[in-house]
Amino acid sequence: MNISELARRLRISTDELRTKLPELGFDIGAKAIKIPDREAGRIQYAWRQYQKRKFLAGKRDEQRARAERKQMVVEGTAQKIFLPNAITVREFADKVEMPIAKVMQELMRAGILASLNERIDFDSAAIISADLGFIAEQEDAEAKAADEEGMEKLEGILADQEGAQPRPPVIVVMGHVDHGKTKLLDAIRDTNVIDTEHGGITQHIGAYQVVRNDRELTFIDTPGHEAFTVMRSRGAKVADIAIIVVAADDGVKPQTREVIDIVKASKMPFIVAINKIDKENANIDMVKSQLSEFGLIPEDYGGDTVMVPISAKQGQNIDQILDMLILVADMEKDKIVANADRRGIGTIIESRVDKARGPVATVLVQSGTLKLGNAVGVRGAGYGKVRAMQTWDGKDIKEAKPSTPVRILGFKAAPSIGDVMEVPEDPKSLEKLKSQPTRKAGADEMRVHTSQAEVGTDDENDGDKKVMLNIIIRSDVLGSLEAVLGMIEKIDNPHVGVKVISKGLGNVTDADIISAEAAKAWVFAFNVKPPSAVAMLAREKDVKLSEYTVIYKLFEDLVERLRILIPAEQIYTELGAVEILATFQKIAKGMIIGGKVTKGIIAVGATARVVREEEVIAEGKINSLQMGKMDVKDVEKGNECGIEFTGKAKIEPGDILEIYREEEKARTLEVEGSK
């Protein structure tokens, strides 16, 4: 055989093969071109054994490194890091100075599912820190003060009434998923913005402005609720008025109660929009009664809470909502003011990395005027320069006054949601933005973030996910479809994923079933009744067709299916070691050997590495143990025992068996919205 052909079969270069052959015990000469076939066969066998030993050695090193990191944490000798009460995955990766991919892998090992910009609490971050070899402690007062400095500055500026002039009110739309928040805004703007979004998911700027009776109103849209919660937790005052949306056919739900608590705690004026009154099972009195239990007494019940029954789908009573918002704004006019003549300052309400344009953020200007070309700072660091500004409808502008939401291009790195962005008096006074490992690998970070932003699309590369669950979704209305896709968007896992191969409105059709059969997909019918002929075709084609009227039931079933698909986590525990004193006989699939336990404990069912002259040569199983003539389940340090070893290794006296246990533990999919 030609030596180059042998190298090709071994998937290495010819030079590398010539270098490795002496190490494997073969001397064919430095200039040999051909090798006898029998010798080539022996070389291939020796190479496979070498690769196996290399793999086993790498596996041992990885297992031991993980165990050592955890031991350092237990002993208190590991490096300490200070973390806030909540931190995004991106920020956490910066703290531990590790690639985001590595951090997300550790999150999955711990059963925590979180996307790049999703926030994890301190307890979750502490668990991951320990796995990575760090001791996590709560951020001290000094660190917290530094983080809150921007918030205090913003609050001080907003409280300063000197030169203040009236500005448009900022309204946040909040409520339970699928109760029609985006559809309400769609009706307010009298344009089908969500129809133009990719897949019907709200991925746009997140804030809008409309004009009513020559008065401008600024609205924060989904995911405004999440952004608003984050900002409130960091002390920022973002909105002036809230709209709490409740569906007339569904009533008060857990997220509705959460919204009520948030609004009450912020002491923000609000109105309630009772949506979907066009539905047959709508019950306005039931909703009012439920809201009364939380202290929201409607005006017609003798209370002071404004409640407007609406149908966002039909456009019913939308003008009344706008008129009530203007009335509330007039009542709060002394508070809804800002100085437009100072340098611009505002809050980041959306932040992401765009595949084509790089870091992009949406800022709500709260005081001053932000101008094209301004240098901008976040937390005292120079985050870039305003190279382009766009309004919610995509128009380029040169300046943005208070209460104006604008998308900004020109950031060096994507800031975090809730960060305060300001134009400094002297741009040179800003600190240089520190380079971070995740930002050095800009292309990788951009790829990760982009793939997350497009979860649920049918045209995106599925990356390295091992198992993809294909689904087809049919829904009654676009708002419902948006809600379903929005929840699916939260699922991001390196082992399993969801791929929406088709989505749309209306009934499930024969074409959907045929497509599902070809793609081995699961068909979801949300608030639509599949025709009997289609249901029969699904049974004939063995296609799973499921009907739902409650979004959480659909999501729970989807997550449960993913839990079945996700591979188990391997838990590694080092047990002990045995020095081999004698070999007795060969058996069908192994050997009977004798040895002395020199470290720890050995147990039946555990895995054993065979180590010879400090090199791992094979692995096997401890099938049974004997002390004297008695079968035992385990043997402790200092005792001699007989061992039935199952494996292909030919064990010799003097070999060391390193005993460990590797168990499978089912991973969990803790996804927001799955509870």
Residues 523 and 631 in one domain: no
Q: 517 and 535 share a domain? A: yes
Contact by Cβ (8 Å): 89, 120: yes
Element (H, E) at 185: helix 181-189
Q: Is residue 154 part of a domain?
A: no
Q: Do 283 and 323 belong to one domain?
A: yes
Asked if residue 358 and residue 476 are part of one domain, the reply reads no
Same domain (yes/no): 24, 86:
no
DSSP helix/strand/coil, 210: strand
Q: What local confidence, expressed as pLDDT, does residue 145 receive? A: 54
The amino acid present at 592, given as its one-letter code, is I
Per the domain annotation, does 104 fall within a domain? yes
> By mean pLDDT, which of 115-129, 480-494, 639-653 is the weakest?
480-494
d(CA 116, CA 448): 8
Nearest in space to 673 (alpha carbons), one of 431, 527, 465, 486? 486
H helices present in 364-418, as ranges: none
**Is the model's pLDDT at 18 over the cut of 80?**
yes
Let me know if residue 145 belongs to a domain.
no
Residues 200 and 327 in one domain: yes
As a whole number of angstroms, the distance between CA 243 and CA 219 comes to 10
CATH number of the CATH domain containing 473: 3.40.50.10050
Kindly state the helix (H) or strand (E) to which residue 258 belongs, with its residue range. helix 254-266
Residue 449 inside a domain? The answer is no
User: 529 in a domain, yes or no?
Assistant: yes
- Residue 520 falls within a domain, yes or no? yes
Give tens-digit pLDDT for 614-669.
Answer: 888 888 999 999 988 889 999 999 999 999 999 888 899 999 999 988 776 655 55
Lowest mean pLDDT among 235-239, 257-261, 381-385, 599-603: 235-239
Predicted confidence (pLDDT) per residue in 501-517, tens digit: 888 777 888 888 988 88
- pLDDT tens, position by position, 585-600: 888 888 999 999 999 9
pTM of the model: 0.48
Whether residue 368 lies inside any domain: the answer is yes
pLDDT at residue 666, rounded to an integer = 58
Phi, psi of 243 (to 5 degrees): -110, 120
Nearest to 416 by CA among 348, 469, 360: 348
Do 415 and 501 lie in one domain? The reply is no
Of 165, 527, 132, the residue nearest 336 (C-alpha): 165
365 by DSSP, 3-state: which? strand
C-alpha radius of gyration, the chain, whole number: 32
For 672: left if phi > 0, alpha if psi spans -120 to 50, otherwise beta; the answer is beta
Residue 320 burial class via C-beta count within 10 angstroms: exposed 0-12, middle 13-18, buried 19 and up: middle
- Strands of 557-655, DSSP E: 569-587, 590-603, 607-612, 615-627, 630-632, 634-636, 640-646
Domain shared by 191 and 331, yes or no: yes
List phi, psi (to 5°) of 158. -65, -30
Judge if 328 and 179 occupy the same domain.
yes
Q: Which helix (H) or strand (E) holds 585?
A: strand 569-587
Task: Tell me the β-bridge partners of 375.
Answer: 385
Taking the C-alpha atoms of residue 215 and residue 229, their distance in angstroms, rounded to an integer, is 27
Whether the predicted pLDDT of 113 surpasses 80: no
Question: Is the pLDDT at 252 greater than 50, yes or no?
Answer: yes
Find the helix packing angle between 14-23 and 37-75, rounded to 10°. Answer: 80
Question: What's the structural domain count of the chain?
Answer: 6
Same domain, 595 and 652: yes
Read off the pLDDT band of 468 (50, 70, 90).
Answer: confident
Note whether residue 147 is domain-resident: no
CA angle 139, 145, 148 (to 5 degrees): 105
Element (H, E) at 483: helix 478-488
Of 212-216, 372-376, 432-436, 473-477, minimum mean pLDDT range = 432-436
Q: Which of 119-133, 532-546, 601-615, 619-633 has the lowest average pLDDT?
A: 119-133
Q: Show the tokens assigned to 480.
A: 């419902």
Domain termination residue (choose one: 280, 311, 335): 335
More confident residue, 562 or 248: 248
- Sign of the alpha-carbon dihedral angle for 410, 389, 353, 88: positive
Question: What's the pLDDT at 203?
Answer: 36
d(CA 109, CA 102): 11
| 3-class SS letters over 82-118 | EECCEEEHHHHHHHHCCCHHHHHHHHHHCCECCCCCC
CA 622, CA 271: separation in Å to the nearest integer?
69
- Please provide the average confidence, as pLDDT, over all residues in the chain: 79
Q: Where residue 405 sits, what CATH number does that domain have?
A: 2.40.30.10
Q: Which residue among 277, 305, 335 closes a domain?
A: 335
CATH number for the domain that contains residue 180: 3.40.50.300
Q: Return the bridge partners of 602, or none.
A: 635
> What is the distance between the alpha carbons of residues 461 and 632, in angstroms, rounded to a whole number?
53
pLDDT at 274: 94
Q: Do residues 327 and 356 share a domain? A: no
Pairing of strands 496-505, 545-548: unpaired
Q: What's the gap between Cα 122 and its chain centre? A: 16
Q: Are residues 280 and 202 in the same domain?
A: yes
- With contact defined as beta carbons under 8 Å apart, do 608 and 620 qualify? yes
Last residue of a domain, one of 282, 304, 335: 335
- Could you list the residue range(s) of the whole structural domain that residue 131 is in? 78-139
